[in-house]
Structure formats: structure tokens, C-alpha cells
Chain A
Amino acid sequence: MKLIAKNVNKSIKNRQILSNINLSLEGGIIYGFVGRNGSGKTMLFRALSGLIKIDSGEIICNNKVLHKDIDVIDNIGLVIENAGLYQEFTGFKNLKLLANINKKINDDDIKDAIRRVGLEPNDNRTIKKYSLGMKQRIVIAQAIMEKPDIIMLDEPTNALDENGVKEIRKIILEEKKRGAMILLASHNKEDINLLADKVYYMKSGHLYDGR
């Protein structure tokens, strides 16, 4: 699994969001992205996954060019900061709706993913009634349930208690061991220090090499 970004640029309403981004990423590695609010981390994830179009440059995943050969990267798990699920449905129903798009997994796989993040698959409460921590966990469950090749996690430990943070870190390491390419954006320095094999810094849409 390879993900390459070449000279990627994106501006929105005359403001440069991503500036000359170059990346070469492989499976089985955790890439950490750090930067202030508004530095472009979330937009980078959106661009790499195909949710937004880029103005110039190329994003290539396994020799397929994004927005030419494919609209979005196949087999990707995504957690975007502040992006929620369907409030009127239960956690299980939300994941089932999403799983039905590509029909790669069955109900048992969905329930396994929900249990992995420390939630109860048979919980009849709708997402609206979930706490912030529970909402974060269910979003992580939807990202990992289809065992994707690429996992992009934008602030995955937000709103989680100490135990929750440990559980999610454990999941991230398990996914890395499975061979997934993991992109992790976090303000939590401990997350980056403990998990990331390679670190990038983002500032005003520019990407800089870290360790």
C-alpha cells in the first residue's frame, strides 16, 4: 500500500490551505501530523482521502490517480474532527448504514468493531444521547470496522478519559501491526511521541519533516 502526494496545492476563497505538499507514505507505519489549529491538518486528510479536490498536483494511491482514476481512495477509514454520524440512529444502525455502501462486512464485524472501542453493540440509545466520549468511540469504530488499508485519524483521543485514550492507542498499534497505513493528527504530544514512527509538522498549509 502506497500513498503519494506530489506538489499538492489547495486554496479556498483566495486563502492557501495546502501549499506544495509532497508525501510518500507506506503501509504498516504510523505517521504523526502536528500543528496549530488552522494549520491545515484536517484539510490535508480531506485532500488525501479525496473528499476535496485539489487545485494542482497529484495524489496517487497504488498507481491510481485521485479524481482521475478514482473519486476517493478505496478502503479507507476516516475520523475527522467534529464530524458526527446520524444523530437519530443508534450506534449499530449508523455503522450498518455505512457498511451497506460497499457491503464488505457483516453484522458480526460491525459488533466486533463497536466492542473493540469499548461500547455495547446492543445499546438502543441514539447517537444524540451519547456522551462526547461515546460519540468519539463510535466514530473510531466506523473507521476500523472494514479493516481498511489506510486509516486517517484526526484528533482521535479528543473527549476521551484516560482509559479511553489507552484503549484507542492500543487499537492504533493493533491496526499498524495488521499492516494498515495510519495518519494521526493530534494536539496531544503524548499520542505522537508514543505512537508515531515518523512526524510531520504543519504550519499555514506547509508541511515540514520532523523526526
Chain B
Amino acid sequence: MSTYLKCIITSLLWGVLESLFYLRLNEKIILSDIIFQFSFLKKYIETPYIIDMTIKFLPYLIFQILFGTCIYKHFCSASNYYFSRCINRTKWLLREAFLLYTYVLIFLFCMLAGGVMVTVITNELIFDLESIILLLYYLIIYSLWLYLTTLLINIIAVRFNSSVAFIAIAGLEMGCIFSLVLWENVLPLQDSPFIDRNFLFLQLNPVAHLVLAWHSSFIEKLNMRINIYYQSFDLNISVVLFLLLSIIVTVVGCIVVKRKDLIMANNESGV
């Protein structure tokens, strides 16, 4: 089965599976409720939540596993023959990066579609303006994050090897999730005189930018729906952050790929 088919099936299945967590028979469900489900819930930081978060991270990890070598694989088998035909490696990488971003978007759409399809069958699904705006923010923030982490895995694999790449990125992501426990005890976000300072520190954790419910918005009605901590953490900050990081990773990727000496025919086996 091709990688792309696996990606679509995984995302659809996970979307359906996620829907089981928020389906309530004979009730209306707002689209934003579904989006919160896919964006690491709408909850305060507590240990059980961190465990939940790890589980909800799974589909994104699966995508990173499926596509973490989509660019790197060209440096393994047939690399000499492939790149001897590649007149401009920078253009090649930009084309591959664009394709990767397309697959990220397809993945996210299919996941949401899986969840929405089940909801539409069993409940009444309400689309309102705030939900549509939140959906757009979800797609932008998550697509940029998934794109930059997956591309980074590929680039680190080209520079070192795939094991180092996966351990580094997955390790970093898990580390960021587990470090949220600091904000339960050491840097509390409730009942503390230092909430503002602690919340500022929270924004230094990349994973915090994925939890839409912790953000604020200049759009009043949307702000009332998210922002459970009543702090200033605009959604646009996360958009700009991930966009900048995506650009940096893409540029670094172009440099790494252009400078790569194809001394070995297969980067992975060392032959």
C-alpha cells in the first residue's frame, strides 16, 4: 500500500475514533467542539491531561513516521543516479517541501472529515462563524507545525541518519509535552500571584502553541469560546511563530541538501 494511501486511511480512521470521545446522542455539537478535540482539548494543565495529550499526539506522530523519510529516501537507494540527474537541488527540495505541505493539508482535512462525518450521522452539527475561524486557525497552525517537524526529521536524517532524526524530533516533542507538568505545580496558572509570568513561560513551550483553548483572540466572540485561562496569547502569535520556523527549516534544508556530498550510495547503510 502506498504511503499516501496509508496516510489518508490513518487520518480518516483516527478522525472517526476521535469522534467517539465527543459524540453525545440527541445533542447539538458545534464545529469548534470538534476542533478542540483535535487540538489537544479544552482543559487546564493537570497530570491526567498530559497523559491525554500524549495519546492525542499519536496521529501526528504517525504522519511524521510515514513522511519523515519521504525526502531522505532519495539519499538512500539510487542516490547517485537520482542526484546525477538533478540539475538544481534547491529547486528540487522546494518542490518536495511543497508536496510535503500538500500531504499535511490532506492529512488534516481527512482527519477532520472523519470526525465530522460521524458527527453529522449521529448528531446535529452546528457551523457558526467562530467555528469556521477556529477551523482556519487549526489548519494553519497545525499544518505549519506538522510540515516543519516532518521536514526537520528529513533534513536531520540527510545530515546524520534516520534514527538520530526520529529520536531527536519525537524526543523533543515528548519532552515538551511531559514538561507541561511544570505548569501544574512549579509554575501554576491558577491561584497564584505569578500567573502572568508563568503564562509567559508557557508560551516558550512549543507544544503550548498547539492547544487552541489556551489562546486568546482579538475577535471577541471567538475569544470567549477559547481562552480558558483568560490570558493574552493571541492565535496569530502561534501562526507567525510556526511560519517563521517553517521558513527557517526550509532554508536550512536547502543548504543541507545542496552541500551534501554523495560519497556513499546509501546514506542509511553507509555503502
**Interface of A with B (CB < 8 Å)?**
12, 43, 46, 49-53, 70-72, 74, 76, 78, 80, 82-87, 94, 97-98, 101-102, 139, 142
Q: Are A72 and B265 in contact, with the CB atoms below 8 A? A: no
- A-contact bits for B231-271, CB 8 A (1 contact / 0 none): 00000000000000000000000000011011101100001
Which of B84, B88, B259, B266 is within 8 Å of A51, CB to CB?
Answer: B84
Contact residue among A43, A50, A85, A102 (Cβ-Cβ distance under 8 Å from B81): A85
**A151 CB to nearest chain B CB (Å):** 11
B97-154 with Cβ < 8 A to chain A: none
Within the complex, the shortest CB–CB distance from A57 to chain B, in Å, comes to: 15
Q: Number of B residues whose C-beta is below 8 Å from A?
A: 21
The chain B residues found within 8 Å of chain A, CB to CB, are 77-89, 258-259, 261-263, 265-266, 271
Are B88 and A83 in contact, CB atoms less than 8 angstroms apart? no
Question: What are 17 A-to-B residue pairs whose CB atoms are below 8 Å?
Answer: A46-B262, A51-B84, A51-B261, A51-B262, A52-B262, A53-B259, A71-B88, A72-B86, A78-B80, A78-B84, A80-B81, A82-B265, A86-B77, A87-B77, A94-B78, A97-B78, A101-B82
Q: Which of A51, A70, A85 contacts B77 (CB 8 A)?
A: A85
With A12-B263, A71-B89 in contact, is A84–B83 under 8 Å at CB?
no
A74-B87 contact given A52-B262, A82-B271, A84-B265, CB 8 Å threshold: yes
Q: Is B87 in contact with A71, judged by CB distance below 8 angstroms?
A: yes
Nearest 4 interchain pairs by C-beta: A83-B265, A51-B262, A52-B261, A101-B85
Q: Are B259 and A102 in contact (CB under 8 A)?
A: no
Provide the residues of chain A in CB contact with B84, threshold 8 Å.
Answer: 49-51, 72, 76, 78
A80 contacts which chain B residues (CB < 8 A)?
A: 80-81, 265
Most buried by A among B88, B259, B263: B263
Q: With A46-B262, A51-B262, A52-B263 known to touch, is A83 a contact of B80 (CB < 8 Å)?
A: yes
Q: With A52-B263, A82-B271 as given contacts, are A71 and B258 in contact (CB-CB < 8 Å)? A: yes
Query: A76 CA to B262 CA in the complex, in Å?
Result: 16
Check B81–A142 contact: CB distance below 8 A.
yes
Which residue of chain A has the shortest Cβ distance to B76 in the bound complex?
A: A86
For A85, list chain B residues within 8 Å (CB).
77-78, 81
Interface centre among A52, A70, A83, A142, by most B CB within 10 Å?
A: A83
